[in-house]
Amino acid sequence: MIDLYSWTTPNGRKVSILLEELGVPYTVHPIDISKDEQFAPDFLKIAPNNRIPAIVDHETGVQLMESGAIMLYLANKYDRFQVTGDEYWRMMEWLMWQMGGLGPMLGQAHHFVKYNRGKAPYAEERYAKEAQRLYRVLDTRLAGRDYVVGEGAGVYTVADMAMWPWVSRHDYHEVDLADFPNVRQWYHRIKDRPAVQRGYHVPHFVQDIPEG
């Protein structure tokens, strides 16, 4: 059994979507970051960086923080939603792109463009432009591909699952997915998966998944 400590954020949804796709049993422990529950001593024992998500795998004794590390651990444990050979490194490349670029930069767009408009015009412009640039990068990668790894139909991997919850907040970024048709098709292709629909609403329902 896996314990998942999470909240309704893009990083939290990455892992709940993966767990739903894997179809393995897990127990959700909501960590309400609006109430600073991420600073509770018991949670800090699992996640010293006081960030969700985190897991405890009672089958192996492994406990992990950091969404990318958790996703790679689960993909390796169950040998699913990853690839082998040269394509493994392509998957890692795009997963690292999400961890180092798409997530942090769109997180800044959330902060300045969505929640603090008018307080820092320079930051708003900077991160809105960077959001547009990152969507263009992803749109280019998805030209002629269903997923970011592989050619043509490609392979649905943890790299896609890591990106998708961030793109699901495209309205926060003031991005119209119609301007990025390859991203839009990819977004809906993943959105229509039943496991994604279930994982999006962990640990609880907030809103319907945005259409885009």
Q: Of all helices (H) and strands (E), which one includes residue 96?
A: helix 86-97
List of domains in the chain: 2-80 (3.40.30.10), 86-199 (1.20.1050.10)
Q: What is the mean pLDDT of residues 95-105?
A: 97
Give the predicted TM-score (pTM) of the model.
Answer: 0.97
**Residue 212: predicted pLDDT:** 84
pLDDT, tens digit, 9 for 90 and up, residues 146-176: 999 999 989 999 999 999 999 999 999 999 9
**Residue 208: predicted pLDDT:** 96
pLDDT, tens digit, 9 for 90 and up, residues 15-69: 999 999 999 999 999 999 999 999 999 999 999 999 999 999 999 999 999 999 9
Q: How many angstroms separate the CA atoms of 38 and 64, rounded? A: 15
- Cβ-contact 101, 95 below 8 angstroms: no
Q: How many angstroms separate the CA atoms of 106 and 8, rounded? A: 16
Summary mean pLDDT of the chain: 97
